[in-house]
Structure 1
């Protein structure tokens, strides 16, 4: 697959990943953290704000890999 096509697909998937992940993380917080303390909110959003980086890194590595000849 050409690099330009991989980057196009990867960009679309990355945007969708961030959108879906943000909605999911916020929905979980709304359901389960309504009565929690501020510290629990801070830790939850710190954790969920960083964990999306793992699948994004994998996707970006895939996008940057040279095509096999």
Structure 2
């Protein structure tokens, strides 16, 4: 697969990942943290703010991989 096509697909996947992850993280926070204090909110959003980096890292690594010889 050409690098340009892989970059396009990866960019679209990253946008979908970020939007979906933000919605899910917010829904979980509203459902589970409604009775919790500010420290629990801070800890949850700090943790969930970093978790999306793991799948994004794999997408970016796939995007910049050198083109296979054919």
In the superposition, the TM-score normalised over structure 1's length comes to 0.98
Aligned structure 1 segments of 4 or more residues deviating by more than 3 angstroms: none
Aligned length: 69
Q: Alpha carbon RMSD of aligned pairs, Å?
A: 0.4
Offset of residue 36 of structure 1: 0.1
In the superposition, the TM-score normalised over structure 2's length comes to 0.97
Give the equivalent residue in structure 2 for 1:35: 35
Which ranges in structure 1 are unaligned for 5 or more consecutive residues?
Answer: none
Q: CA deviation digits over 1:27-61, x for unaligned, max 9?
A: 00000100101000000000000010011011000
Give the equivalent residue in structure 1 for 2:58: 58
Which ranges in structure 2 are unaligned for 5 or more consecutive residues?
Answer: none
